Structure 1
Amino acid sequence: MRPEVQTFVAAGPLPDWDASEEEIDRRVRQLEAIAKPVSGEEARALVSCFGPDDCYGVAWTLLHLIETGPNPVLATDPGPDANEWHRRLHGRAVNAGLIP
Structure 2
Amino acid sequence: MRPEVQTFVAVGPLPDWDADEEEIDRRANQLEAISAPVTADEAHALTACFGPDDCYGLAWSLLHLIETSPEPVPPVTPPDADATDWQHTLRNRWGNR
Structure 1 and Structure 2 fold alike (TM over 0.5) = yes
**TM-score, normalized by length of structure 1?**
0.89
Secondary structure in structure 2 of the residue aligned to 1:17: coil
Q: Percent identity?
A: 68
Match of 2:91 in 1: 90
Residue pair 2:40, 2:72 contacting (<8 A) in 1 also: no
Residue pair 1:8, 1:30 contacting (<8 A) in 2 also: yes
Of 64-73 and 79-88, deviating more is 79-88
Structure 2 gaps, min length 5: none
Give me the CA root mean square deviation: 1.3
Residue pair 2:14, 2:27 contacting (<8 A) in 1 also: yes
Secondary structure in structure 2 of the residue aligned to 1:47: helix
- Letter of the 2:57 counterpart: G
Match of 2:53 in 1: 53
Structure 1 gaps, min length 5: none
The whole-number CA distance in structure 2 between the counterparts of 1:93 and 1:41 is 15
**TM-score, normalized by length of structure 2?**
0.92
Q: What is the aligned length? A: 96
The whole-number CA distance in structure 1 between the counterparts of 2:82 and 2:6 is 27
- Residue by residue over 1:39-90, the C-alpha shift from the partner in whole angstroms, topping out at 9 and shown as x without a partner, is 0110011001000000011000000000001332214321454210110011
The whole-number CA distance in structure 1 between the counterparts of 2:53 and 2:9 is 17
Match of 1:37 in 2: 37
Q: Relative contact order: is structure 1 or structure 2 higher (C-alpha 8 Å, sep ≥ 6)?
A: 2
Secondary structure in structure 1 of the residue aligned to 2:48: helix
Match of 2:24 in 1: 24
Match of 1:6 in 2: 6
